[in-house]
């Protein structure tokens, strides 16, 4: 009888020690931005953003960036007192609040951006 020792890769909650920039990237990814857009917004090279996003995936034990966003939501990393993006705008709405000015402005920019990026598909 053979018995495989169960690898315990998954299951344990990773200690989510993300840097402030990794959190920022994650929030922007959750809000629908690409690495390119994030790089521009943070005034960094795309390669730097890619490196950070690989790092944050590893820190969260995520298999993809989408998975990282999912895990971060579960850990409430994105729900903190943060304002000024699409996700935080949505968070206000989910809490039944009127979004603050910073979030409303960000939402406007987000929608405008959506319109320009989906223009070619229709």
Residues lying near Zn ion in the complex (CB under 5 A):
83, 100, 103
Q: 44 or 83: whose CB is closer to Zn ion?
A: 83
CB of residue 99 vs Zn ion: minimum separation in angstroms? 5
CB of residue 89 vs Zn ion: minimum separation in angstroms? 7
Q: 81 or 120: whose CB is closer to Zn ion?
A: 81
Q: Quick one: the chain helix, strand, coil %, rounded to 5?
A: 60, 0, 40
d(Cα 29, Cα 15) in Å, to the nearest integer?
20
Q: 68 or 91: whose CB is closer to Zn ion?
A: 91
- Tokens describing residue 34: 């690409």
CB neighbours of 41 closer than 8 A, spacing ≥ 6?
28, 33
Q: 53 or 99: whose CB is closer to Zn ion?
A: 99
CB of residue 79 vs Zn ion: minimum separation in angstroms? 12
CB of residue 41 vs Zn ion: minimum separation in angstroms? 18
């Amino acid at each position: 009888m053979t018995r495989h020792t169960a690898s315990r890769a998954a299951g344990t909650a990773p200690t989510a020690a993300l840097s402030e920039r990794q959190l920022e990237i994650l929030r922007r990814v959750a809000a629908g931005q690409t690495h390119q857009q994030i790089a521009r917004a943070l005034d960094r090279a795309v390669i730097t953003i890619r490196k950070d996003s690989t790092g944050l995936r590893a820190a969260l034990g995520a298999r993809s960036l989408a998975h990282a966003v999912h895990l971060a939501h579960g850990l409430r990393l994105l729900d903190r007192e943060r304002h000024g993006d699409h996700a935080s705008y949505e968070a206000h709405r989910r809490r039944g609040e009127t979004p603050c000015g910073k979030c409303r402005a960000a939402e406007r920019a987000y929608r405008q951006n959506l319109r320009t990026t989906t223009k070619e598909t229709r």
